Amino acid sequence: EEQINQIRKDLDMWVSGHDVAKPCISFGHFGFDDRLINAIIKQGFTEPTGIQRQAIPVALSGRDLIGVAKTGSGKTASFVWPMIIHILDQPELEKGDGPIGLILAPTRELAHQIYVEAKKFAKVYNIKVAAVYGGDSKADQFKELRNGHVEILVATPGRLIDMIKMKATNLRKITYLVLDEADRMLDLGFEPQVRSICNNIRPDRQVLMFSATFPKRIEKLTRDVLNDPVKIHIGNVGA
């Protein structure tokens, strides 16, 4: 216990919540299989970042989580790798006819970046990733969603709602939801869309929220959407 507290202190990390999984100091300790480890090494990554050390074991334990850490700290991988494990764990029956993992992001640029990052690791397992966001052709995105068996979907909230209305996709099988850059999503006025999407996802889901800051409005959203979350706060970041 003391050793764990020291690891967290060294990482300038604050954790709240009960029964929090232990942090892992190296990639070898996450329990990932060789294919994923090799894909990580291929990226030139040698050790997990601070947020990854704590968020990944918590995510793998099935808990909801709030991760607050500054930009550039490797938050994307900390939700993408456990999402891949979650998808591999689903029974065959659950696959097909709609994504299992959903990542909501505030802007097309960010959605695209997450898509690129997720694909690097998902492709190792033939897990299909798609992205939908404003500014690109709805017809093309519609086709991509309708034709393929998409397991991971990255989306901006408004465009996802359009795609659901067009019956290009559905939320029935989503059991792993990520709200990335939650503070920016609210700043950009997407709170109603985010809430509407969350309200239409089955209750037996895992939710991970990442944000660079943690204002009151985010706190309220976490109370409404997350279930008994672990909160991980790294460094000297906002509110």
**Cα distance between the two ends of the chain:** 28
Nearer to ligand ADP by Cβ, of 171 and 218: the residue is 218
Q: How far apart are CA 121 and CA 162, in angstroms?
A: 28
Q: How far apart are CA 222 and CA 136, in angstroms?
A: 30
Alpha carbon of 86 to those of 30, 174, 177, 221: distances in Å?
Answer: 14, 11, 11, 24
Q: Work out the burial of residue 153: count CB atoms within 10 Å of its CB; fewer than 13 is exposed, 13-18 middle, 19 or more buried.
A: buried
CB atoms within 10 A of CB 192: 10
Structure tokens at 136: 């690109």
Look at residue 80 and give the partner it binds from ligand ADP, Mg ion, none, a contact being a CB closer than 5 to 8 Å depending on partner kind: none
Q: Cβ 48 to ligand ADP, closest distance in Å?
A: 5
Residue numbers of the site for ligand ADP (CB under 6 A)?
A: 45, 48-49, 52, 71-77
> Among residues 53, 63, 75, 173, which is the contact residue for Mg ion, using CB under 5 A?
75
Q: Cβ 225 to ligand ADP, closest distance in Å?
A: 20
Look at residue 24 and give the partner it binds from Mg ion, ligand ADP, none, a contact being a CB closer than 5 to 8 Å depending on partner kind: none
Look at residue 135 and give the partner it binds from ligand ADP, Mg ion, none, a contact being a CB closer than 5 to 8 Å depending on partner kind: none
Nearer to ligand ADP by Cβ, of 8 and 173: the residue is 8
Q: Cβ 206 to ligand ADP, closest distance in Å?
A: 19
Q: Cβ 75 to ligand ADP, closest distance in Å?
A: 3
Q: Work out the burial of residue 117: count CB atoms within 10 Å of its CB; fewer than 13 is exposed, 13-18 middle, 19 or more buried.
A: middle
Q: List Cβ neighbours of 205 (8 Å cut-off, separation of 6 or more).
A: 174, 175, 176, 177
Look at residue 49 and give the partner it binds from Mg ion, ligand ADP, none, a contact being a CB closer than 5 to 8 Å depending on partner kind: ligand ADP
Q: Cβ 78 to ligand ADP, closest distance in Å?
A: 8
- 185 lies in the site for Mg ion, by CB under 5 A: no
Q: Cβ 194 to Mg ion, closest distance in Å?
A: 16
Evaluate whether 113 touches 138 at the Cβ level (below 8 Å).
no
Nearer to Mg ion by Cβ, of 98 and 181: the residue is 181
Nearer to ligand ADP by Cβ, of 27 and 163: the residue is 27
Q: What single DSSP character describes residue 106?
A: S
Residues contributing to the site for Mg ion (CB under 5 A): 75
